[in-house]
Structure 1
Amino acid sequence: MELKLARAELGTKPKTISLDKIESAVEKEGQKIFYFDKENSHKQLIELVEFFEEKGLSVYHRVVKYGLDEKDYMYEVHIL
């Protein structure tokens, strides 16, 4: 599965990250916070949460709004 990371600047395209890279970062650091772009579907993020919960990890998922417009948001996923 490929997920899009949150954009650093509004006019740029989001970078992608694979599930394997996310898993290796979590294994290396023990916990990790990822910010994902709004172009990811809710279903993809739920699959990500379920993947790590099946491995016995705790996962917190929420929507972060950074502006007044309804379109100004990203997803935060904290994996412990």
Structure 2
Amino acid sequence: MELKLARNTINAKPRPIQLDKIEEILLKDGQKIFYFDKENTHKDLVALVEYFEAKDFSVYLREVKYGLDEGDYMYEVHIL
């Protein structure tokens, strides 16, 4: 599964990341907070949460608003 990391600037394109890479980072660091772009579907993020919960990680997903517009948000996923 491929997800898109949050943009660093408004006009930038989101960078893709593979599920394998996320798992590799977690095995190395133990825990991590990832910020995903709004272009990801909620269904994909729920699948990400379920995948890591099945591997005995604790996963917290929330929507972070950074502006007043409805489209100014990203997803924060904290995996422990």
User: Which amino acid letter does the alignment assign opposite residue 18 of structure 1?
Assistant: Q
| Within-5 A mapping of 1:30-49 | 30-49=30-49
Q: Matches of 1:12 and 1:66 in 2, distance apart? A: 16
| Cα distance per residue 1:30-74 (max 9 Å; x no partner) | 000000000000000000000000001100000000000000000
Match of 2:72 in 1: 72
Give the secondary-structure state (helix, strand or coil) at the position aligned to 2:40: coil
Which sections of structure 2, spanning at least 5 residues, go unmatched? none
What is the deviation of 1:77? Answer: 0.2
Could you list the runs of 4 or more consecutive aligned residues of structure 1 that deviate by over 4 angstroms after TM superposition?
none
| Within-5 A mapping of 1:43-62 | 43-62=43-62
Q: Tell me how many residue pairs correspond in the alignment.
A: 80
Q: Matches of 2:12 and 2:49 in 1, distance apart? A: 26
TM-score w.r.t. structure 1 length? 0.99
TM-score w.r.t. structure 2 length? 0.99
What is the deviation of 1:12? Answer: 1.1
Which sections of structure 1, spanning at least 5 residues, go unmatched? none
Q: Matches of 2:52 and 2:12 in 1, distance apart? A: 29
